Amino acid sequence: MKSLILKEIDELIFGSLGIIIFISFFIGGVVSIQTALNMTNPIIPRTLIGFATRQSVILEFAPTFTSVIMAGKVGSYITSSIGTMRVTEQIDALEVMGVNSLNYLVFPKIIALLFYPFAIAIAMYVGIFGGWVAGVFGGFSTSADFVQGIQMEFIPFHVTYSFIKTLLFSFIIATIPSFHGYYMKGGALEVGKASTTSFVWTSVVIIITNYVLTQLLLG
Amino acid sequence: MDQRGYNYYKLRINTIITRLMIDVNKIEKSFGDAHILKGFSTCFDKGKTNLIIGQSGSGKTVFLKCLLGLFSPEKGSISYDGKTYANLSGREQRDLRQEMGMVFQGSALFDSMTVEGNVMFPLEMFTKQPKDEMEDRVNAVLKRVNLIDAHHKYPSEISGGMQKRVAIARAIVMNPKYLFCDEPNSGLDPKTAIIIDNLIQEITKEYDITTVINTHDMNSVMQIGEKILFLKNGLKEWEGSNKEIFKTDNAAVTDFVYSSELFKKVRQMYIEERN
């Protein structure tokens, strides 16, 4: 089981770091540019660019936006890999051997995705760094203003709130696609359909959970 | 008691005397309104290759999945060595399944593992043997199924016949008491199919296990059918051996087994020769 969990951490978390870093960097950059372009009033301080980037990235873009992307990447992988095992009778083979197939296939994924908040922490850093690069090298803000903005009125609970969300999202990303893969029926075409359905449902549940948690924790 | 009932009880008593292994008693299974298995009884003997034949939709696969414990029958019971499956606890059922080996129609090998990994999988899951002992055992069973140079290949890199051999090796690696095969030679050329049939029969004798094979292949029926169970519409229509199937007057069996003109002529010649 230990080796299975390590394998899943490698595939689900380390395998996703590239896309997470890429998306976070550019999203942070876009948030920074958009904020700067919308600050037409000269009395608004330029530190707001750093402040808005930090708040947007930590509160929403890193945990929620990245999780929707992960629902597509990791969720589809989970559904299609388990679904293919169902179609090709590999799950039946596990059951016949006396292996608890649900535990063998799904539990390591749930444990592996407990490491997902570490990936989101990286997304937060990279997102803010992307905002700094876009803001400073795009000529929208000075480095000092941006860094001052990042440090302005920082509420540590926002990070806690973000990680609470991420933990719940990781559970959703592990379980909903597993359900769609494990209980699917049919052939190869249905594996594709199950992947699509699982992505839709995972995204919907993430969005609704995000709303409910925000209301509960920050409302 | 009619002739069919008499034959059944005669066979059952004989089997009890000669080490009964799998005993099926009035088994019934439905899916919604579809009544697939309609209450028949049979038994499968140790050290013999038992074949289940019948037309598509006759209930063969459902019956095999009931034998494997993948489906639970609504009525009736299945006993293994006197232990009734339905009466066992979840843990005991799992333990019993570890005594079963299964060769699936599509081999059902794990795509992400090599041949060696596939065969070693049950050992890794259920034994605490040192790695070198497991490797020795894997080498022995792979050698037994005549697969020597395929250890590090993936299932997608080997032929259908080789995949079937790997599936057989994986099924016997834990020294099972019961071996189940679902159409083990489907999709194989006739020569490879006979090699696989013979291999299964040799292993059955060598390991003294109860082998149950679900098949459509008439070559298998004639070659290795020590006991043949013919299912029709979810009921047992006939049972006997590959020698008896030549002589049977059961119209349903002869229509199914000797469906081609060639087979009909062969049967006629056989009967004339015997007379």
Residue B174 to residues A218, B119, B179, B207, Cα–Cα distance (Å): 57, 10, 11, 11
pLDDT of residue A200: 94
pLDDT of residue B2 exceeding 70: no
Contact state of A84 with B111 under an 8 Å Cβ cutoff:
yes
Closest residue of chain B to A89, computed from CA coordinates: B108
Contact state of B104 with A95 under an 8 Å Cβ cutoff:
no
Reading across the β-sheet that carries B227-232, which strands appear in turn? Answer: B100-103, B178-182, B210-214, B49-54, B227-232, B235-240
CA distance A89 to chain B (A): 5
Contact state of A88 with B98 under an 8 Å Cβ cutoff:
no
pLDDT of residue A73: 92
What pLDDT digit, counting tens, does each position of B228-260 carry? 888 888 888 888 887 787 777 788 878 787 777
Cα(B164)–Cα(A45) distance, integer angstroms: 72
What pLDDT digit, counting tens, does each position of B208-225 carry? 888 898 888 777 777 788
pLDDT of residue B17 exceeding 70: no
Give the mean model confidence (pLDDT) for residues B183-205: 81
What pLDDT digit, counting tens, does each position of B91-106 carry? 888 888 888 888 888 8
pLDDT of residue B134: 86
pLDDT of residue B19: 55
pLDDT of residue B169 exceeding 90: no
Of A89, A98, A99, the CB nearest to B104: A89
Give the mean model confidence (pLDDT) for residues A56-77: 92
Give the mean model confidence (pLDDT) for residues A56-78: 92
pLDDT of residue B8 exceeding 60: no
Range from A51-60, A142-151, A163-172, B97-106 carrying the lowest mean pLDDT: B97-106
Contact state of B97 with A96 under an 8 Å Cβ cutoff:
yes
pLDDT of residue B94: 80
Cα(B175)–Cα(A10) distance, integer angstroms: 34
Cβ burial of A95 (10 Å; 0-12, 13-18, 19+) is buried
The mean pLDDT of chain A is 91
Give the mean model confidence (pLDDT) for residues B154-165: 86
Chain A residues in contact with B69 by the CB 8 A cut-off are: 95-96
From B151, B168, B141, select the one nearest B116 (Cα to Cα). B151
pLDDT band at B3 (very low <50, low <70, confident <90, very high): low
pLDDT of residue B189 exceeding 60: yes
DSSP state of B2: -
Give the mean model confidence (pLDDT) for residues A6-21: 90
Contact state of B97 with A88 under an 8 Å Cβ cutoff:
no
Closest residue of chain A to B167, computed from CA coordinates: A93
Chain B residues in contact with A80 by the CB 8 A cut-off are: none
Of A89, A95, A98, the CB nearest to B95: A98
Cα(B75)–Cα(A97) distance, integer angstroms: 25
Give the mean model confidence (pLDDT) for residues A19-48: 89
The mean pLDDT of chain B is 81
Contact state of B106 with A88 under an 8 Å Cβ cutoff:
yes
What pLDDT digit, counting tens, does each position of B41-87 carry? 888 888 888 888 888 888 888 888 888 888 888 888 888 888 888 88
> Mutate which of A7, A77, A80, A96 to disrupt the B interface (most B C-beta within 10 Å)?
A96
pLDDT band at B6 (very low <50, low <70, confident <90, very high): low
Give the mean model confidence (pLDDT) for residues A156-163: 92
List the 64-93 stretch of B: residues with Cβ below 8 A of A: 68-70
Under DSSP, is residue A184 helix (H, G, I), strand (E, B) or coil? coil
pLDDT of residue B10 exceeding 70: no
Cα(B200)–Cα(A93) distance, integer angstroms: 18
User: Chain A within 8 Å of B108 (Cβ-Cβ)?
Assistant: yes
User: Chain A within 8 Å of B155 (Cβ-Cβ)?
Assistant: no
pLDDT of residue B112 exceeding 90: no
Strand segments, DSSP code E, in chain B are 20-31, 34-45, 49-54, 75-80, 83-84, 100-103, 178-182, 210-214, 227-232, 235-240
What pLDDT digit, counting tens, does each position of B255-265 carry? 787 777 777 77
Under DSSP, is residue B54 helix (H, G, I), strand (E, B) or coil? strand
Chain B residues in contact with A95 by the CB 8 A cut-off are: 69-70, 97
Range from A15-24, A121-130, A167-176, B131-140 carrying the lowest mean pLDDT: B131-140
pLDDT cut 90: percent of chain A above it: 64
First-to-last C-alpha distance (Å) of chain B: 31
Cα(B146)–Cα(B165) distance, integer angstroms: 8
pLDDT cut 90: percent of chain B above it: 0
User: Residue A155, Cα to own-chain centre: how many angstroms?
Assistant: 22
* Contact yes or no for A100/A182 (Cβ under 8 A): no
pLDDT of residue B78: 87
pLDDT of residue B12: 54
pLDDT of residue B11 exceeding 80: no
Interface of A with B (CB under 8 A): 84, 88-90, 92-93, 95-100
ipTM surpassing 0.90, yes or no?
no
Fold of B3-99+178-274: Rossmann fold (3.40.50)
Report the alpha-carbon angle B14-B20-B26, nearest 5.
Answer: 90
User: Chain A within 8 Å of B267 (Cβ-Cβ)?
Assistant: no
Residue A70 to residues A18, A53, A149, B238, Cα–Cα distance (Å): 12, 22, 29, 56
User: Chain A within 8 Å of B127 (Cβ-Cβ)?
Assistant: no
B131: how many CB neighbours lie within 10 A of its CB?
A: 10
